[in-house]
Structure 1
Amino acid sequence: MMEIRLATAEDARLIAAHRRAMFAAMDAADEAVLTTVEIASIPWTERMIVENRYLGWITSDGERPVASAGMFLLDWPPHPFDPEGTVRGYLLNVFVEPAYRKRGLARELVQRCLAEARRRGIRMVTLHASDEGRPLYETLGFAVTNEMRLSLTNE
């Protein structure tokens, strides 16, 4: 039977492994970079959960964790999209094991994140979607934006 629970700091290793698998599924980086990301994600995730800035949910099939998703709470200045808000939710680490996909697990986890954002009075939630995930987010009301990126690590 599938169960969903809140993530704790003890889940940081699992969340980091799912994060790695998510990026691997998108062919986002080579194995060495993915290993670095996974290792570096563990202490960051532990710290953010303890500071109540990372809210995560994990779906398990019996004892086996098969899906997870998180929302990072960002201090954010008032903006024309949210003129009174000072916190923005950022969805991340949405991952479902391949054998468990197409069962609505990612949708349920994202909906948990959004319900928590509403409960906290957060009015703006953003994310970066993979090509595979984009249709899900669009059905939940997310709109494509014009965000750009500059990496200063390659200078």
Structure 2
Amino acid sequence: MMSNELQIVPVGPADDPVLVTHYLAIWDSYGTRLEDYAPDATEAVARFIGETRSDGSHGGFLAIVNGEIAGSAICCLLRSPYPEVIKPAVRRRGYIWSVYTEPRYRGKGVGKSLTERAIIHLKTAGCTDVVLHASDAGASMYEKLGFTRAGEMRLAL
């Protein structure tokens, strides 16, 4: 794909339905069954986007190729599940929680460009590092951008 065909543009509230649709499509790609979604899944995603937008940490972007939406990315400050005791100047984590590329645009640099734009947004917001959870399909792209694998432990209950 030629770089002049691809544009990464910031989103506004009018674009939220696209962001919501793309985020749920990611879960679909993991094999999530329709009956496993919360009844208010769409509203929950929209509400979360609104919360991050209102606290100033939201970054949302669309990839546009020849006038068509080719993908999206969403990032924000990482919401810690525990008390933060380290100064933000030392540790202020950003989180990229959705990078989606429409199937026909995959492998053409759309996801990479979206991720790079999200990183710029988080760096500008004062983040010292960025966290994301990569799918198996996306892991190598993120590693090429400098992300390293980190150990997360899980226990099914």
TM-score class normalised by the smaller sequence = 0.7 to 0.9
What SS is found at the alignment partner of 1:147? coil
CA distance in 1, matches of 2:69, 2:54: 21
Q: Is the 8 A contact 2:71 2:110 kept in 1?
A: yes
Give the structure 1 partner of residue 21 of structure 2.
17
Residues 31 and 96 (structure 1), Cα distance of their counterparts in 2 relative to 1, 3 Å cut: same
Percent of paired sites with the same residue:
26
Residues 120 and 48 (structure 1), Cα distance of their counterparts in 2 relative to 1, 3 Å cut: closer
CA distance in 2, matches of 1:37, 1:52: 23
- The answer to whether residue 101 in structure 2 is matched with residue 96 in structure 1 is yes
Scaled by the length of structure 1, the TM-score of the pair is: 0.82
CA distance in 2, matches of 1:23, 1:113: 20
Give the structure 2 partner of residue 140 of structure 1.
145
Residues 46 and 10 (structure 1), Cα distance of their counterparts in 2 relative to 1, 3 Å cut: farther
What SS is found at the alignment partner of 1:72? strand
CA distance in 1, matches of 2:65, 2:141: 22
- The residue type equivalent to 2:102 in the other structure is E
Give the structure 2 partner of residue 48 of structure 1.
52
CA distance in 2, matches of 1:68, 1:20: 12
The alpha-carbon deviation at position 86 of structure 1 amounts to: 4.3
Q: Is the 8 A contact 1:9 1:50 kept in 2?
A: no
- The residue type equivalent to 2:24 in the other structure is R
CA distance in 1, matches of 2:25, 2:49: 16
CA distance in 2, matches of 1:49, 1:36: 20
Bigger relative contact order, structure 1 or 2 (CA pairs below 8 A, ≥6 apart): 2
* 1:31 aligned to which of 26, 30, 34: 34
**Deviates further, 30-39 or 97-106:** 30-39
Structure 2 unmatched runs, 5+: none
CA distance in 2, matches of 1:58, 1:142: 22
Structure 1 segments, 4+ long, off by >4 Å, are none
Residues 123 and 33 (structure 1), Cα distance of their counterparts in 2 relative to 1, 3 Å cut: same
CA distance in 2, matches of 1:146, 1:30: 27
Residues 85 and 20 (structure 1), Cα distance of their counterparts in 2 relative to 1, 3 Å cut: same
CA deviation digits over 1:45-66, x for unaligned, max 9? Answer: 1232233222111112344322
Structure 1 unmatched runs, 5+: none
The alpha-carbon deviation at position 83 of structure 1 amounts to: 8.4
How many residues align structurally? 149
Give the structure 1 partner of residue 123 of structure 2.
118
Q: Is the 8 A contact 2:76 2:122 kept in 1?
A: no
- The residue type equivalent to 1:32 in the other structure is E
